[in-house]
Amino acid sequence: MDQALVDRYLTSQNCQWIFNPPHASHFGGVWERQIGTIRRILEAMFDQLGGHRLTHEVLVTLMAEACAIVNSRPITTQSADPIALSPSMLLTQKSMSLHPPPGNFVKEDIYGRKRWRQVQYLADQFWARWKKEYLQNLQSRQKWFHTKPDISDDDVVLLREKDDPRCNWPLGRVIKTYPSEDGKVCKADILICRDGTRRTYLRPISELVLIQKAPISTLFRLDYSD
């Protein structure tokens, strides 16, 4: 790689690197919280294993599965359709979604001889724990203390579905909201694009996690029909 060429290109694009000072990991609040969450989950999982030790190959494969799970999370949308843009897409430059787990895995697989089943069971456990903690961080509950804007049309939301396979993030766009008697939105119609097919689901706001607010330009539409 020609470093000078890269430097000239970044300079022409007004790119500027800002590095954290040494011994100041708290400067990276967002990703450091992710690292702390992942570490706590892995420590809890390994404590439950007890005296059962993992081979080097199983541990390395589990770390790869954990990386794939964390990097599959949606951070925004990449088009008008509710199609997620994830860190893995930025890292690999590929938009192909991950396949679901190849079967159902139970706790007894830990003590079996098939190491790939051990990894898949542990990956399922990591997915269940990490997804729960990650979504709770996005959906903070401050009931009766703070008033927040309601979910509105064109907001991008994430559906909380318990039975989704690993690394599946059902991202959708709000197409209609239903206020209650007090004027607060309590449910909404969500448009989801799955396998190229658009579907609409009615969901309560307790099952929705706001990912991205609608642009201001879409909140003030003018009707020229008259």
* Residues 69 and 115 occupy one common structural domain: yes
Q: Give me the domain span that covers residue 179.
A: 156-216
Cα 178 from Cα 97, distance rounded (Å): 32
Counted domains in the chain? 2
Residue whose C-alpha is closest to residue 122's, from 35, 169, 60, 179? 60
Residue keyed to tokens 């330009």 = 217
Kindly state whether residues 53 and 125 are assigned to the same domain: yes
pLDDT tens sequence for the chain (226 residues)? 678 888 888 888 888 877 776 666 666 777 777 888 888 888 888 888 876 778 899 889 999 999 888 888 888 877 666 677 888 888 887 877 667 777 888 888 888 788 888 889 989 889 988 888 888 777 665 555 566 778 889 999 998 877 778 888 888 999 999 888 788 888 899 998 877 788 898 988 888 989 888 876 554 443 434 4
Residue 75 within a domain: yes
| Residue 175: per-residue pLDDT | 92
Domain end call among 88, 111, 138: 138
Cα–Cα distance, 180 to 167 (Å, whole number): 34
Q: Are 91 and 71 in contact (CB under 8 A)?
A: yes
What is the DSSP-derived secondary structure letter of residue 1? -
Residue 43, in any domain of the structure = yes
Do residues 38 and 83 share a domain?
yes
Q: Does 148 fall in a domain?
A: no
Last residue of one domain, picked from the residues 138, 170, 193: 138
188 located within any domain: yes
Residues 34 and 28: their CA atoms lie apart, in Å, by 10
Hey, what are 171's tokens?
Answer: 């991202």
In a domain, 181, yes or no: yes
Could you tell me if residue 48 is inside a domain? Answer: yes
Q: Kindly state whether residues 192 and 118 are assigned to the same domain.
A: no
CB 165 within 8 A of CB 217: no
Question: Which residues are CB-contacts of 142 (< 8 A; sequence separation ≥ 6)?
Answer: 148
